[in-house]
Amino acid sequence: MKKLLLGNEAVALGAYEARVKVASAYPGTPSTEITESISRYEDIYVEWSPNEKVALEVALGASIAGARAMACMKHVGLNVAADPLFTSSYTGINGGLVIVVADDPGMHSSQNEQDSRFYGRAAHIPVLEPSDSQEAKDFTKLAFDISEKFDTPVMLRMTTRVSHSRSLVEPGERLDVGLRDYAKDVGKYVMMPAMARGRRTVLVEREKKLQEYAEKADINKVEYNDRSIGIIAAGGAYNYAKEATPGASFLKLGMVWPLPQDLIKNFAKNVERLFVVEELETFVEDYIKTLGLKVFGKDYFPKTGELSYEIVARGLKAAGVKSEILNLAFEDFIDVKVSSIPARPPALCPGCPHRGVYHVLKKLNLTVTGDIGCYTLGALPPLSSMDTCICMGASIGNAHGMEKARGKDVSGKTVAVIGDSTFVHSGITGLIDVVYNNGAATVIILDNSTTGMTGHQEHPATGFNIKGEPAYKLSLEKLCEAVGVKRVRVEDPFDMENFEKAVLEETAAKEPSVIIARRPCALLKRNRLKNPPYSVNKDTCIECGACLELGCPAIVNMDGVSIDKDICVGCGLCAAVCPTESIAGGDMSE
Amino acid sequence: MNDTAILIVGVGGQGTLLSSRILGEVAVAGGFDVKLSEVHGMAQRGGSVVTHVRFGQKVYSPLVGAGQADFILAFEKLEALRWARYLKKGGLIISNTRKIPPIPVTLGLQKYPEDIDEILSSAASTCMVDAGRIASECGSVKAVNVVLLGVLASRLAFEKELWLRAIRKIVPQNTIEINTEAFNRGYELLKG
């Protein structure tokens, strides 16, 4: 019986059916639900690793030991895991090894829009790209077969709209795959120069064989219809193109690296005009141009953002494709006469512990190097307290670099803010650097006891593992002390008065310091904040706007200031900043 | 029923995902190919959210394009306005009357449009529902999503029992009664 599954859930089902034994990951939108779904299968070992590099190393170790293994991450996570990725291509595998990478065209929840297909090409490993949930499951299984047949890691490339769309999946049989024998093989698994040179030759030969495979693979499909236009597409882009011109001829690629040279040449010969529809970079288009073929692509479709049926149809129309085979419904939308619609950017939740921190940092007018998580929202008005956000862990190195560039005065006016999960992921190495190289940065670890933005995943400092079972709880304060920070203190960000004092003292110190702002995420189930809602006394409120400066979604400014009692969790920050004591817990109108 | 496209729009945290899952479940039970596209991650934190729902004989794109939606189901009025250009000519906008001012409005940087009802009704058929009041009467203001889903259901050709079954399957066990009541109230609303 078919099930309606997210693309990510379908990958998990594929892993289950392929008899994966070990799965590891660090959370990251849009990839997170793959590993969460795998954790529901009892006989698969699954873990949240501290970061993607470790996750891939764990999966590779499991593979070398003879098990089918999988590591999952978002596109920028693959940068972190790039080191083991490139060399795993040299060692090859023992049990099948699949690396699932979810790209985020349109940057719905990411800091950049990089295209992971280039990693596949650069590392000389095959890349499969599904277009819906059924393919997500089927390609996952197939990826393990390819991995074992060709002795290579295989990348499964997802994109946001495939990961986070639900479509029908027919569950299949679970394969009977056991552990392969493990035998020590220094020439294959110890990559020092002499051995690596040998393996380098092997991987070049392997790529040739993979290309021959791609020519005949079932997942690269030709569909001939109207031959005036032929479209080459993969993944989500295929769906948009199919919608824009169902009557065109298609070469649907299921394998986007290596590309099937002869299949492409032959398809090109059989259509009048050849198009490539792909999201992000000109990966397939450039390849086709190197074959000496005439092809249209990004001349008509944008390089930035995600595609849609509408964008593809518009591009094809602009390219002069005859309108009889185009679906032009988008030209016929209703005429809504409105000059400007206010934007609705995301905001920190009511009761968010980060709000108090940013309120203090803004008040003190500090330069704030930021990091990746919910707390990046502190960059937006009205909190507007962030100067940089680059990648996981960058806040600490950025603050240190600023100080080294502009002298120690900067350290008195600069703080790095980083979440607890992000700190464990890659902040700790930055802190080691600060201490080792005689810096004086102040680091605020926003410890909300979870990985917030991605939907509340455990990490080494929460005291629980991915299955919710108790685990050793990493002490952030002991860790900071161990790397040589002498000034480590824990503060409650809801107590803004004390918190301000702490920030002033630590930024004034001429040595490295860490403030752990500890208060659980307001949405965290095991610790949910739910005090009675606060309310505004309209008689004494002078509408000064002090509470509005907190940027709390529960504080509403329409016909005077009021508090939405349905979403207020009673954190009390607004009462603390009100100069006329017009805000208090409970209903003040009664 | 031909291919049907529905946009469910609202503010992160309002429960759009739950209603799209119920709708998806019903469309599957009705024998259709179904695709839903959801928003996870950063935008969920109080931002504008949209779920695309499509069902028919064969669905390719999980996204509803501009001018393609048969229905827009809006949990908040400004969001109905924001996504209105996705409505097909002859389509219906079902919107909650609730106004949730976004942060730029709260800060006085932008104005919340006063005449949303008029703008929408001059461009399309609309059905404005005080879903918050109905949900509260059913026992929980959180059931707004299911009230609105009930209104939508009354305009789709699926049997009512399919909806009730999907609700029982998907909503938390202890809210089945409230949600069933909320659904029924929405379902009866347009019947006068």
Q: Which domains does chain B have, with CATH numbers?
A: 4-189 (3.40.920.10)
Residue B174's pLDDT is 95
The answer, for A525 touching chain B at a CB cutoff of 8 Å, is no
A29, A250, A341: which to substitute to probe chain B, counting the most B Cβ within 10 Å? A341
Q: Please give the Cα distance from A461 to A5 (Å, whole number).
A: 32
* Three-class DSSP labels, A154-177: EEEEEEHHHHCEEEEECCCCCCCC
pLDDT higher than threshold 70 for residue B86 = yes
pLDDT greater at residue A77 or residue B40: A77
How far off is chain B from A534, nearest CA to CA, in Å? Answer: 18
Residues of chain A with CATH 3.40.50.970: 3-216, 354-527
Measure CA A536 to chain center.
Answer: 39
Select the residue of A334, A453, A566 nearest B42 (Cβ to Cβ).
A453
Does domain A221-330 sit in CATH 3.40.50.920?
Answer: yes
Phi, psi of B162 (to 5 degrees): -60, -40
- Residue spans of chain A under pLDDT 70: 408, 586-590
Residue A529's pLDDT is 74
Q: Please give the Cα distance from B188 to B191 (Å, whole number).
A: 5
CB contacts of A236 in chain B (<8 Å) are 62
Residue A589's pLDDT is 47
Residue B42's pLDDT is 65
Phi, psi of A393 (to 5 degrees): 90, -5
Helix (H) or strand (E) holding B10: strand B4-11
CB contacts of B28 in chain A (<8 Å) are 2, 4, 168
Q: What's the CATH architecture for A354-527? A: 3-Layer(aba) Sandwich (3.40)
For A534-585, CATH gives: 3.30.70.20
Residue A588's pLDDT is 52
Q: Please give the Cα distance from A361 to A434 (Å, whole number).
A: 21
B20, B59, B63, B79: which to substitute to probe chain A, counting the most A Cβ within 10 Å? B63
Residues of chain A with CATH 3.40.50.920: 221-330
What's the residue count for chain A? 590
Residue B44's pLDDT is 67
The pair of structure tokens assigned to B106 is 């709260």
Q: What is the mean pLDDT of residues B87-116?
A: 93
User: Coil, strand, or helix at residue A222?
Assistant: strand
Q: What is the mean pLDDT of chain B?
A: 93
Beta strands in A224-372 (DSSP E): 226-234, 248-253, 255-257, 273-277, 367-369
CB contacts of A243 in chain B (<8 Å) are 60-61, 65
Residue A336's pLDDT is 80
How far off is chain A from B190, nearest CA to CA, in Å? Answer: 23
Pick one of 1.10.274.50, 3.40.50.970, 3.40.50.11270, 3.40.50.300 as the CATH number of A3-216.
Answer: 3.40.50.970
pLDDT higher than threshold 70 for residue B43 = no
Cβ neighbour number for residue A176 with a 10 Å cutoff: 6
